Structure formats: C-alpha cells, structure tokens
Structure 1
Amino acid sequence: MYSFLFKYIIIGDTGVGKSCLLLQFTDKRFQPVHDLTIGVEFGARMITIDNKPIKLQIWDTAGQESFRSITRSYYRGSAGALLVYDITRRETFNHLTCWLKDAKSFANPNMTIILIGNKSDLEQKRAVAYEEGEQFARENGLIFLETSAKTAANVEDAFIRTAKEIYNKIQTGDFDINNETFGIKLGAPQKADATNTGNQNQSTGGCCGK
C-alpha cells in the first residue's frame, strides 16, 4: 500500500545511461552489456518520505529521434522528470535545450525536473564541467546532480530529491492530487504503522540502452 504514487519520466539522448540509472535505483545493480531501449520501459520502487510510503512509477524512454513522438505522449501525466546527459559526450549536453523545450511544451507546468550529469565515474574522459551543468540547471530552475549508474553515486539521491520536491508541492497546493493527469495518484488511507520503505518492485529488462 502507498500514500501517494508519483509518475516519473526519464529523458535524454541515446547512450547517456537512462536505463542504467533506473536499474541501479530499482534493482541496485549495474548491467554493462545492454541493448538500446525500444520505445518505453518501466520500473517501480517504494520509498518513504515524511513517514509516508510513496510508490515511484518510472517510465524510461528511448532517446532516438524516431521514438520522440512516443516519448512526448508520456510527458503529460508525469509529476517528475530526470533529464540526463553524459558528462563525457558534449553533444548530449548541447541537446538539453531541445529536451527541456519538449518537457515544457508537453508536460504539466508544475512537473519537477532534475538535471543529471551521468557517468561521473569517468572523470578522466569528462567533456562537460560540473559548473556548466550547475549553471544550466540554475538558469532553467532545475535541481542538479552528477551521478554514476555504475558506482551508484547519487543515484538514490536523484530519485528521492525529485520525490521530496513533488511532495513539497503537494503540501503547498501546487498539485491537485485529485487530478491524475498531474502524475500523482492518491493511495488508500494508511494505518499508523504502515511506514514500511520497501526497497523495490520490478525494474526494466535492458540497461543503458540509452
């Protein structure tokens, strides 16, 4: 049982590690051999915020241009988005503006977006400075973290910080929790002892397909 269900979407170019981030969060493992994600894959996990069990339902989208129309259909109905680039590939950073434009065009205006510079374990191959990601996030009102799906660095934090921001917006009335198009679903009333933070449900199949 959960108090709330939050729907997430993970977006960004092919090969930035979107599927790996999801797999690390839901299954606590890294899968170095992977296939490209075709269309959309799915993962879920329970977390706890403010002593309330919250289910994260996460849609992992394909980065290829040919799947962009499918991806766009998942923006509306998402409460949170992880916008991911690869710190070793500058072109994935350069494309962030396009991804953000899509998100702001097709998502609800209160969607929480976190910018993620993935593959921080490959510092020796870095092509995008931390400060550049930080500045882009600041200019666009985004949360910012660098992560490594391989070592799990900041992966947990990325998903949970996004959930905390969504939860805060519920508390301040920015989200209408009775309108499921905002990507939030109200769960059944919880008993006093129902504060279990189960670790995971099932995750997707492939990894880093993107």
Structure 2
Amino acid sequence: METWGCRYQFRIALLGEAAVGKTSLLRRYVAGAPGLETESEPEPTVGVEFYSRALQLTAGPRVKLQLWDTAGQERFRCITRSFYRNVVGVLLVFDVTNRKSFEHIPDWHQEVMSTQGPNKVIFLLVGHKSDLQSTRCVSTQEEEELAASLGMAFVETSAKNNCNVALAFDVLTTGIQQALQQGDIKLEEDWGGVRLIHRAQIPRSCSRKQHPGSCQC
C-alpha cells in the first residue's frame, strides 16, 4: 500500500494466548479481503513478526502503522516483553470459543502496564473468531464488563469473514490520535511508540525500488 505523506508512525502490538488468531487477524487487515487464504491456520508465531500499513485517520493525518505480531506461548514471553515499552497501542485478542484465552486477558494487560513509562497506552479488547457462534463460550455481556473494568473499548472480529477487522484497527488508532491531541501521549526521542516522520529523510530517487506494501513515507 502506498504510504507517501504519512505524518506519524504508530507502533501497535497484538497480544493474547497462542492460537487465538492474532496472525490471521493481522494478515487479513494488511492484505485486505482479496487473495487472503483463510482455509488453513498460519504457523505459530515465533518471537515477534512485523507488518505495516498506511491509514488515513478520520479528521486527522495519514499515519504508518507498524504492527507487531507476538507469540502467545510462554517460552517466548521473555522476548515479547522486551517490546512492550515501545508500543503506543495494544489489541488484546482472545478467542470467543476459548474461555481460558478470555480469562487471561487481565494478565496480558497487567504485563504491558507494568512496563510503561509516562505515556499512555491505548488498549482495545478484541473477541476474535466471532463467526464460530455455535461453539462460543464467552458472552458479549462478559466482554463488555471486562472491557469496562479495564477501561477500554471492545470489538468482536472474524478474519475468516472479514468482519470488523478494519474497524478494530480504526477504533484503536483513533484513540491514539485523540490521546496525542489531548497531550496524554507525547513524542519522545527515546520512545518508539509514536514517531514523527520527516519527509526529507526519504530519498525520492529510491522510491521505485521499494517493495509493494512497504512504507515510503
């Protein structure tokens, strides 16, 4: 996706238990509806993988989203924890058919909060695999109550049906933009959560060599 004209870079992480669908959710968002294979589950993420996408904020600037797909397995937790301090947004993802993944959301939230500095981190609770209604074991009311108790919004999504995938990222990034405007998030040189992108740093002569979908802003 073309990313000329981006003003900011927002660094966002997806956190949650293994196999809740974080990778599928990210691939659906980055690739869009056409051409995405959803028949087979992706291989488990090892450590952290990176994706990016440009987004025009409603009544705001164009931004580059740097999206971190993190491993949910405990043996990779020491790797993923090292990234927490440099994120401005977090999607806390659980599987609506996996009760355990829902019950562990407060633990993921606390892990991030325990590493944060003065800047605010924007969270969104995401109930994934909403297409599997016949086997769901977490109610919408429970999701609403948990989100309220943690001070965040929530969205139900399905990568398979492409349901509310873009909405989830739109809600999160809008929250980040509002926090920037209100001064709850400030640009700091030693913090990677939000970066101001300077166009002068991008040599125009190299733009044709960029891989499709990479940031050129």
TM-score (norm 1): 0.87
Native 8 Å contact 1:78 1:107 kept in 2: no
Partner of 1:18: 22
Whether contact under 8 Å (2:23, 2:42) holds in the other structure is no
Please tell me the root mean square deviation across aligned C-alpha atoms, in Å: 1.7
In structure 1, distance between residues paired with 2:116 and 2:63: 21
**Alignment partner of 2:131: what SS?**
coil
State the partner residue of 1:172: 182
Q: What CA distance in whole angstroms lies between the structure 1 residues aligned with 2:183 and 2:134?
A: 44
Which of 38, 43, 59 is the aligned partner of 1:35?
Answer: 43
Query: 1:74 corresponds to which residue?
Result: 83
Greater relative contact order: 1 or 2 (C-alpha under 8 angstroms, separation 6 or more)?
A: 1
Counterpart of 1:194 in structure 2 is none
| Contact preservation (8 Å) 2:47, 2:71 | yes
Question: 1:201 offset after TM fit, Å?
Answer: 2.4
Find the counterpart in structure 2 of residue 106 from structure 1. Answer: 115
Identity in percent = 36
Shift in alpha-carbon separation, 1:163–1:30, aligned structure 2, 3 A: farther
Query: How far is 1:101 from its partner?
Result: 1.1
Match of 1:181, SS state, is coil
- TM-score w.r.t. the length of structure 2 is 0.84
Aligned length: 193
Q: Does 1:96 align with 2:100?
A: no
1:201 is aligned to 2:213: yes
Task: Structure 2: state its 5+ residue gaps.
Answer: 201-211
Distance 1:62 1:17 in 2: 11
Matched letter for residue 53 of structure 2: R
How far does the alpha carbon of each residue in 1:109-141 deviate from its partner, in whole angstroms, 9 at most, with x for none? Answer: 500010000000001111000110111000110
Correspondence 1:48-67 to 2 at 5 A: 48-49=56-57, 50-67=59-76
Structure number, greater radius of gyration: 2
Q: Structure 1 segments of 4 or more deviating over 2 A?
A: 29-33
**What is the deviation of 1:75?**
0.7
Structure 1, unaligned runs of 5 or more: 191-199, 203-210
Cα deviations by residue, 1:146-204 (Å, 9 ceiling, x for unpaired): 100111111101111111110111111111124451500012369xxxxxxxxx826xx
Work out whether 1:158 is the aligned partner of 2:168: yes
